[in-house]
Structures are given as C-alpha cells and as structure tokens.
C-alpha cells in the first residue's frame, strides 16, 4: 500500500515534469531570435509564401493561442508533421527509436556488467592488481572520446580483423562496436562511483556489527555493504542512461546507424522545426521516464525513500 502511494506520487511528479519541460521548450523556441518561417522559406521567398509557411507552422496566431494548441497537441502526443517528409513526427521518431534504444541499453548493460563487479573488487581489495586495473580502465574511459574510440574500434575490428560488419544495422552484431564505444565512458564513471561508494559503506559501523556476528567477508561485502553501496550507483546509472541517448547522436554518425541521433541531426540541417521540437520533447520525456524508473529501483534498495 505504502509502495503504491509512493508510485502514484512519483508518477504525478513525472507528469508535472513533462508538463513543465514542454512549456519551457515551447517558450525557448519562441524566444530564440529569428522566425522559423523565414528560415524554412529561404531568402527568395515572397511575403505570401512566408505567411503561408507561418500558417502551416501555426506561428501566425498569438503566443497564448499557440501555447494552448501546443499543450493540446502534447496531451495527444501529437508533434505535428515533418516539413521535409510530411509524415507525422511521432511516427518517424518511433521508427528510429528502437535502434537508438537498443544501442543505449546494450551500452549501459556493458557498462554495468564491467563496472559494478570491477568497482566492488577494487573496493574490497584496495591497492591490489584489480584496483590498479580498475583505475587504468576508468582513467582511459574518461579520457578517450567515444567517437574516437568508435573509429579505432572500426579500424581494428571491422577493417583489419573483419570480425564485425563495417556497415548496416539489421543484426545485433552491428551494434556491438557502437555499444562498446558508447558504454566505455559510462563504465568508467560507474566504476569510480561503485568503488567509492563501496569503500564508504565498508567503513561504516554496521559493518563492525556484521564482523562481530562472525559473518564471512563475502557475506559482509555482498549481503551487507553492496546493497547500500548500490543506492547512489543506481541513480547515476539512470542519469548516465539519459546521457547515452544524447551520446548516441555522435556514435550513430560514426557507425552510420539510422537511429534517433542521425534523425535529429538531419532535422537540424534541414531546419525541420516540428521534427526538432518533437525530438527535444521526446528525449526529455525519455529522460524523465528513466528517472522515474530509477526512483522505483532506488526505493526498492533504500526503504527510507518510500517514506519521504
């Protein structure tokens, strides 16, 4: 019961966040100098043509009316039609989303699978070989830009040793290298945090109680410390996942993957305003949803959260 109430509270908060985000996006677009219609129409367009585009974009109405229309569309999840392809924005985004999503999930999974065990090992065996390996790993991960890593991976594993395909996006095999390129930096961050958090937990008093009970070191580490240590890790992993959707834009470019990133980049080149707007709102919604899911995990790990 307590948990359901908690979920409801968090869900309301999610809706509110999305409402505020879409409001901000609406105003940001209108505050930025320049009339989209002018940009879309080009230099040679006549006043009538420009006016026609304004009507099409809906920017001819007073701002208040535009806002109400915008909000109405938001509720219906209607982002309008793309100017270039004339298809509904949501439909285009949906087509491209699954690739980017799979890529991000693979990336974060890879990051978590490497980073959390390595972080725990580094914390438990401080200043051991594991720890040094972890340090080098995370230094590299933070220093190496993902697009560069992507290119190097392609050169080694697709060109020199053709293990993975150079082009294409139809099989999971195509996504391995981009996921590594994307996940490496994330793994570095998660690794550092896991280690720090685990070290912190192991120095807490309840660990002394666990020792006094005669528990084995394994039980102390995994049953007692790890659950507490993972609380901040889960939060940051969620945020990292959000960033990953953004980072995918660059990686998709490197690997020529037709994902969301390429779509939005293309939309910006083409001045496809409805698509850009829709894209920004969509990413924002995904970000908020991720946070919502993280909150749920967080509350499972940390019983104190459910009360507040």
Partner 1 sequence: MELIVKNLDLSFVSGGSEAHALRGIDFSVKEGEIHSLVGESGSGKTVTSTAIMRLLLSPPARINSGEIILDGINTLKMQEKEHRKIRGKKIAMIFQEPSKYLNPTLKIGKQITESLILHLGMDKKEAVLRALAILETVGLGGGKRVLNSYPHELSGGMKQRAMIAIAISCNPDFLIADEPTTALDVTLQLQILELILSLKEKLSMGILFISHDLRVVHDISDRISVIYAGKIVEGTSKNELFSNPLHPYTQLLLKSIPDAEKRGTRLTTIPGKVPDAENIPTGCAFHPRCPKAQDICREKEPEMKEYIKGHFSACHFSQGEGF
CB 126 within 8 A of CB 203: no
CA 124, distance to chain mean position in Å, is: 30
| Residue of 139, 122, 140, 141 whose CA lies nearest to 131 | 122
Binding residues for partner 1, rule CB under 8 A, total: 23
Task: Give min distance, CB of 273 to partner 1, in A.
Answer: 48
Q: How many helices (H) and strands (E) does the chain have?
A: 13, 0
259 by Cβ neighbours in 10 Å (0-12 / 13-18 / 19+) ranks as buried
Q: Which of the stretches 55-63, 70-78, 223-231, 236-244 binds partner 1 when contact is defined by CB under 8 A?
A: 223-231
171: buried, middle or exposed (CB in 10 Å: 19+, 13-18, 0-12)? exposed
Query: 206, 222, 256, 266: which one contacts partner 1 (CB under 8 A)?
Result: 206
- Residue 36, C-beta contacts closer than 8 angstroms, at least 6 positions apart: 29, 57, 59, 271, 273
Does the protein bind partner 1 through residue 228 (CB under 8 A)? yes
Considering the complex, state which of residue 35 and residue 217 has its C-beta at the smaller distance from partner 1.
Answer: 217
Per rule CB under 8 A, is residue 199 in the interface with partner 1? no
Q: Note whether 1 binds partner 1 by CB under 8 A.
A: no
Based on the shown chain and the rule CB under 8 A, indicate whether residue 304 belongs to the binding site for partner 1. Answer: yes
CA distance 33 to 118: 49
Is 205 near partner 1 (CB under 8 A)? yes
- Any contact of residue 215 with partner 1 (CB under 8 A)? yes
Instruction: Report residue 3 as tokens.
Output: 């948990």
Q: Which stretch binds partner 1 (CB under 8 A): 16-24, 79-87, 124-132, 217-225?
A: 217-225
* Single residue of 150, 224, 240, 252 touching partner 1 by CB under 8 A: 224
| Residue 222 binding partner 1, by CB under 8 A | no
Nearest CB to partner 1, comparing residues 91 and 204: 204
User: Residue 235 interacts with partner 1 (CB under 8 A)?
Assistant: no
Coil, strand, or helix at residue 108?
helix
Told to check if 302 binds partner 1 by CB under 8 A, we report yes
Give the binding site for partner 1 (CB under 8 A).
204-206, 208-216, 219, 223-224, 227-228, 231, 301-304, 307
């Amino acid at each position: 019961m307590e948990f359901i109430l908690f979920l409801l509270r968090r869900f309301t908060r999610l809706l509110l966040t999305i409402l505020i985000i879409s409001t901000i996006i609406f105003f940001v677009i209108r505050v930025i100098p320049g009339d989209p219609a002018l940009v879309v129409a080009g230099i040679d367009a006549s006043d009538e043509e420009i006016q026609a585009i304004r009507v099409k974009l809906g920017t001819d109405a007073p701002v208040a009316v535009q806002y109400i229309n915008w909000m109405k569309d938001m509720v219906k999840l209607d982002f309008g039609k793309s100017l270039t392809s004339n298809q509904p924005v949501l439909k285009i985004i949906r087509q491209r989303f699954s690739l980017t999503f799979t890529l991000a999930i693979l990336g974060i999974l890879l990051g978590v699978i490497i980073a959390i065990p390595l972080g725990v090992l580094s914390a438990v065996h401080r200043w051991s070989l594991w720890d040094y390996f972890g340090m080098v790993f995370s230094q590299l991960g933070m220093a190496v830009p993902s697009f560069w890593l992507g290119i190097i991976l392609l050169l080694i594993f697709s060109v020199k040793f053709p293990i993975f395909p150079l082009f294409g996006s139809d099989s999971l095999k195509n996504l391995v290298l981009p996921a590594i390129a994307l996940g490496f930096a994330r793994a570095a961050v998660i690794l550092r945090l896991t280690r720090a958090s685990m070290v912190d937990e192991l120095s807490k008093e309840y660990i002394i109680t666990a020792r006094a009970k005669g528990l084995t070191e394994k039980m102390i580490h995994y049953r007692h410390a790890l659950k507490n240590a993972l609380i901040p890790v889960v939060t940051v992993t969620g945020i990292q996942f959000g960033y990953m959707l953004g980072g995918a834009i660059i990686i998709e470019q490197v690997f020529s993957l037709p994902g969301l990133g390429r779509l939005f980049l293309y939309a910006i080149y083409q001045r496809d305003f409805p698509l850009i707007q829709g894209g920004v709102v969509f990413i924002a919604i995904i970000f908020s949803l991720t946070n919502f899911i993280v909150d749920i995990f967080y509350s499972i790990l940390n019983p104190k959260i459910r009360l507040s």
